[in-house]
Structure 1
Amino acid sequence: MTETAPGLSCYTANLAAYLEEGEAAGSADFLAASVRLAVDLDRPDGLIAMSHHDRPLNRLGDGSRLTYEGFDDFEAAREVARHEIGRFGRALVVGYSSQLPWSAAPDGAAAPHFVLVDGHEGGRWHVHDRFTGLMTSGAEQEPFDGWIDDTQLRSLMRRDHDEPAKHRLRNTFAFGFEVPVPRNRYLLLRRSLPRIRPSVLPGRWITDSATALERLGERLSDGDALLGDPGVVDDCWAASRHHLFRYRRLTRHMGYRTTGAASRKALDSAADGWSKLPRTLRFAVASAHRGRARPALVRGAFAELADLEHETGRRAAGALAVLDGPGD
């Protein structure tokens, strides 16, 4: 995937829609305020895990939580989706990008994708998909708002492929912190009042965004490491989208009469750096495949972005505090 405009990922675009349809006022600012980058670079499988949010986005205002529930039978999943819609007016189901009836890349990889379902009549379901982006195939994925039938819902949710470890990682940390994911064929998010567990990342995680960027740059400057985790470019693309969304919301709170030129410049520079990162990494991957690694380019891009993130945090502290709102 490639970036065309500031937006959200295929997880958070529809999580935002879920929050907005409920009682969560200011959910866009809440999501934007949550954005940060944390990485785990020491996994035994060699993959890089990323967390994009510094608060658990599955925690809702009434004390309930969204947790994954899995089924091997579609009828059972269908009944839970109906129950969620009946009780809360909406549900999030886990679909797969290439299996969506409105997919721009039906022959592409079947990557996990949240879909908002907010209506049910007989054998039909009303669904929203706010995600939009330019796919690696060159096709533009457009948002969707309409009705599908039982067969289409079953098809978009059904996992018939072996689940890559990278996809499982993304599901697990989609809300910023670990949420257990069953290994069943059909997955959806169920709202409940589970036993509260602390929302913390294990000690090996690097949770400061600037430091995470520096360390990530050091790791990926090795062409073998970059090729060894091909999904990491899409992970960085998602981080780029989240940060661009954060800065777009932040701009709304930076009055041009009260915000200095240096602060506005820092914000613009950081946004520009994030928008360029996916292109830089795709170029580096293509070069590494040709046997010409670009360590200085990769390391330099991440180091520069780390500096920009640090400067933005310093210069825009007031606006960041407004965006973050009152504490818990």
Structure 2
Amino acid sequence: MAAVASGAVPELSCYTTNLVAYLDRGTPGAARRLADAVRLAVRTDLPDGLLAFSHHRRFDGDDAGGGDADGGGWELAYRSSADWRDARSRLAEEIAAHGSVLAVGNTRMMPWSPQFGRTAVPHWCLLEGRADGRWRLADHFSALLPEGEHRPRTARLTDAELRDVLTPVRDAPPEVVLRDVHAFGVPVSLPSPAHYRWLVRQERTARPPGPGTRLTESPGPGTWLTDPAEVLGYLSERLPEDVRALTVHADDLWAASRHLRHRAAVLSAAELVPEDPATDRGWAELPRALRFAALSAARGRARPDVVARAFDNLIEATTRRAVSHP
């Protein structure tokens, strides 16, 4: 098992990191297209006080392809099978048709994951080919997680080894299911949790937003907050006092931090927006504060002050930026 060359793919969530790598194989520039599409929306009307997060629109490529829903008329969608032999055959077909395929792994069964043998979480991996009875897998995701460091890896796996890596996550908690539902930015139907899963190209189900579409539009049915100030204001009031919401949604804010920092870095490098170190620091600090507070709460010592202060610093920075660059 070998490390993937560092710096080739932006450090995003495990889904968008490998999504960008997949899309770049067809039409380079997916990282920029993702940056253009990033925005944070939060659904607030779900049962049991759960929240849903949408981190980006379905983002478009050009007529030659390149987005997860692009101008060539296709989009990515889940496919699945309860039978491994059928799944294996269909994965090979997708690779033959398009050169690679995104498959849904299970961190508990991935030897290179710090969650190996411990925590089962869906994880997108890139299958880039099959030769001599082995599958070439690439995982570009890189992050320091609570369980340890997840480093990018490539591997050549036998059928049995790949089957283990793609073991279905049958008992994912509801907040994880919501992440899968909104992995494309808009809600989609999920296959059975007992099935092996992967992504395929299918005919686009809706026209993509045209040029100039506002990034704050509602991702789907339900009550969504989409204005950045409203989103941060709501979360800053809710999470310091709601330990359960803080605990189950800390990872969602971690993903939001990565996506929004990616957007700012890409657009400032292109000189489309000014650099904003204060907001970047605020987004970098927020997930650290949330995880610290969640761990403290698990030990019986809630720290709402830590959460509130992190949100206050971020809101102050984003408000100052809005005033300086309306």
What TM-score does the superposition give when structure 1 sets the normalisation length? 0.83
Q: Which residue of 1 aligns with 2:197?
A: 187
Q: Are positions 1:153 and 2:153 aligned together? A: no
- The residue type paired with residue 44 of structure 2 is L
Q: Would the aligned equivalents of 1:210 and 1:307 in 2 still touch at CA under 8 Å?
A: no
Residue deviations 1:263-299 (CA, integer Å, cap 9, x gap) = 43xx111110011011111222233334443334323
TM-superposed deviation, 1:94: 0.5
Q: Which residue of 2 aligns with 1:325?
A: none
Partner of residue 84 from structure 1, selected from 94, 109, 112:
94
Q: Which residue of 1 aligns with 2:251?
A: 234
| CA 1:175–1:315: 2 relative to 1, 3 Å | farther
- The residue type paired with residue 151 of structure 1 is A
Q: Aligned partners of 2:132, 2:325: CA distance in 1, in Å?
A: 51
Structural RMSD (CA): 2.4
Q: Aligned partners of 1:79, 1:311: CA distance in 2, in Å?
A: 54
| CA 1:41–1:188: 2 relative to 1, 3 Å | same
Q: Aligned partners of 2:49, 2:132: CA distance in 1, in Å?
A: 47
Tell me, which stretches of 5 or more residues in structure 1 are unaligned? 318-328
- The residue type paired with residue 217 of structure 1 is S
SS in 2 for 1:45: helix
TM-superposed deviation, 1:316: 6.0
Q: Which residue of 1 aligns with 2:80?
A: 70
Residue deviations 1:38-83 (CA, integer Å, cap 9, x gap) = 1112211322211111335631331111111121101111111111
What TM-score does the superposition give when structure 2 sets the normalisation length? 0.84
Q: Would the aligned equivalents of 1:47 and 1:229 in 2 still touch at CA under 8 Å?
A: no
Q: Aligned partners of 2:176, 2:26: CA distance in 1, in Å?
A: 28
Q: Would the aligned equivalents of 2:239 and 2:245 in 1 still touch at CA under 8 Å?
A: no
- Describe how 1:104-119 pairs up with structure 2 within 5 A: 104-119=114-129
Q: Aligned partners of 2:325, 2:34: CA distance in 1, in Å?
A: 18
Q: Would the aligned equivalents of 1:213 and 1:303 in 2 still touch at CA under 8 Å?
A: no
Residue deviations 1:292-318 (CA, integer Å, cap 9, x gap) = 43334323422432343354466567x
Partner of residue 170 from structure 1, selected from 168, 179, 204:
179
Partner of residue 14 from structure 2, selected from 10, 13, 31:
10
Q: Aligned partners of 1:305, 1:37: CA distance in 2, in Å?
A: 14
Q: Would the aligned equivalents of 2:246 and 2:294 in 1 still touch at CA under 8 Å?
A: no
| CA 1:110–1:134: 2 relative to 1, 3 Å | same
Partner of residue 41 from structure 1, selected from 39, 44, 67:
44
Paired residues, number: 301
- The residue type paired with residue 238 of structure 2 is R
Q: Aligned partners of 1:19, 1:145: CA distance in 2, in Å?
A: 18
Tell me, which stretches of 5 or more residues in structure 2 are unaligned? 1-6, 60-66, 209-217
Partner of residue 142 from structure 2, selected from 107, 132, 138:
132
TM-superposed deviation, 1:158: 1.3
Partner of residue 21 from structure 1, selected from 25, 41, 45:
25
SS in 1 for 2:105: strand
Q: Aligned partners of 1:298, 1:123: CA distance in 2, in Å?
A: 50
Q: Aligned partners of 1:166, 1:104: CA distance in 2, in Å?
A: 21
SS in 2 for 1:11: helix
Q: Aligned partners of 2:43, 2:25: CA distance in 1, in Å?
A: 33
- The residue type paired with residue 204 of structure 1 is T
Q: Would the aligned equivalents of 2:23 and 2:68 in 1 still touch at CA under 8 Å?
A: no
SS in 1 for 2:137: strand
Q: Which residue of 2 aligns with 1:294?
A: 303
SS in 1 for 2:46: coil
Q: Percent identity?
A: 40
Q: Aligned partners of 2:37, 2:81: CA distance in 1, in Å?
A: 31
Q: Would the aligned equivalents of 2:283 and 2:314 in 1 still touch at CA under 8 Å?
A: yes
Q: Would the aligned equivalents of 1:95 and 1:114 in 2 still touch at CA under 8 Å?
A: yes
Q: Which residue of 1 aligns with 2:266?
A: 249
- Describe how 1:302-321 pairs up with structure 2 within 5 A: 302-312=311-321
TM-superposed deviation, 1:203: 4.2
| CA 1:101–1:284: 2 relative to 1, 3 Å | closer
Residue deviations 1:137-174 (CA, integer Å, cap 9, x gap) = 2x321101231111111111112642221221111111
Q: Aligned partners of 2:74, 2:289: CA distance in 1, in Å?
A: 41
| CA 1:141–1:290: 2 relative to 1, 3 Å | closer
- The residue type paired with residue 54 of structure 1 is R
Moved more, 301-310 or 167-176: 301-310
SS in 2 for 1:179: coil
| CA 1:136–1:66: 2 relative to 1, 3 Å | same
